[in-house]
Amino acid sequence: MAGGRVTIMQRDVVKSGVGFGSALAIAISFTTHKSVLWAILHGLFGWLYVLYYVLTR
Q: In the prediction, which pLDDT does 44 show?
A: 94
Whole-structure pTM value: 0.68
pLDDT for 48 beyond 90? yes
Q: Which domain holds residue 43?
A: 2-56
Q: Exposure pattern of 33-49 as b/e (b: 16+ CB <10 Å)? A: eeeeeebeebbeebeeb
Q: In the prediction, which pLDDT does 26 show?
A: 95
Amino acid at 57: R
Domain tally, the chain: 1
Q: In this structure, are residues 12 and 26 in contact, taking their beta carbons and an 8 Å threshold?
A: no
Mean pLDDT comparison of 1-5, 11-15, 19-23, highest-scoring range: 19-23
18-46 pLDDT per residue, tens: 689 999 999 999 999 999 999 999 999 99
d(CA 27, CA 39) in angstroms, rounded, equals 7
Please name which of 19, 14, 18, 41 lies closest in space to residue 29, comparing C-alpha atoms: 41
